[in-house]
Amino acid sequence: MRLGHLQFSTRAAVIGGVLLGLSAGLLAGVGGFTFIYAKGFSYMTNDPMSCANCHVMQGHLDAWRKGSHHAVATCNDCHTPHDFVGKWLTKSLNGYHHSLAFTTGKFHEPIQITARNESVTEQTCRHCHADIVNQIDFHASGTGRDMSCIRCHAGVGHME
């Protein structure tokens, strides 16, 4: 199952490459200049290094390297949904939002994950760990902090 997922990621990246133009086109309408200026294209690849194109992401990259998952999950494995549409929609939304924030410099520090993206991430945990959490999670809504995984496993993605 793990292996399967990793293959899925790679394949998604390939398809992603094909769709890159399409997505960029979509975004050009909303925030083209900002997007390009701020290296928003980084969002279209699966390479963690490319997230760190923005220096504000450097700390998260470093912390990911120390986290328990650096060998098994890249940024997108946790920060984008594991289905095709959700993945690219999320990438576009985040790409636009973060590029704008980066350009204007207006964002809360330390950077905090948005509720929506936290929910995305929570679902990715459950996606990969479905078997092990079967018993404990069947009543959980999986949204917000209520029965969230990172309430206990905070350092999984990014070790302090």
Say which entry of other proteins, ligand HEC, none residue 131 contacts (CB below 5 to 8 A, set by partner kind): other proteins
- Interface residue with other proteins among 13, 26, 36, 147 (CB under 8 A) is 147
| Residue of 14, 28, 59, 88 interacting with other proteins (CB under 8 A) | 59
Site map for other proteins, 89-118, x if CB under 8 A?
Answer: xx--x--------------xxx-x---x--
The residues, ordered by sequence, that sit 6+ positions from 78 with a Cβ below 8 Å of its Cβ are 69, 121, 124, 125, 157
Phi-psi domain of 90 (left: phi exceeds 0; alpha: psi -120 through 50; beta: other): alpha
> Which of other proteins, ligand HEC, none does residue 58 bind (CB under 5 to 8 Å by kind)?
other proteins
- Residues with Cβ within 8 Å of 22's Cβ and at least 6 positions away in sequence, in order, are none
CA distance 157 to 10: 20
| Residue closer to other proteins (CB basis): 14 or 116 | 116
32 makes contact with other proteins (CB under 8 A) = no
Kindly state whether residue 135 participates in binding other proteins, applying the rule CB under 8 A. Answer: yes
Task: Name residue 132's amino acid.
Answer: I
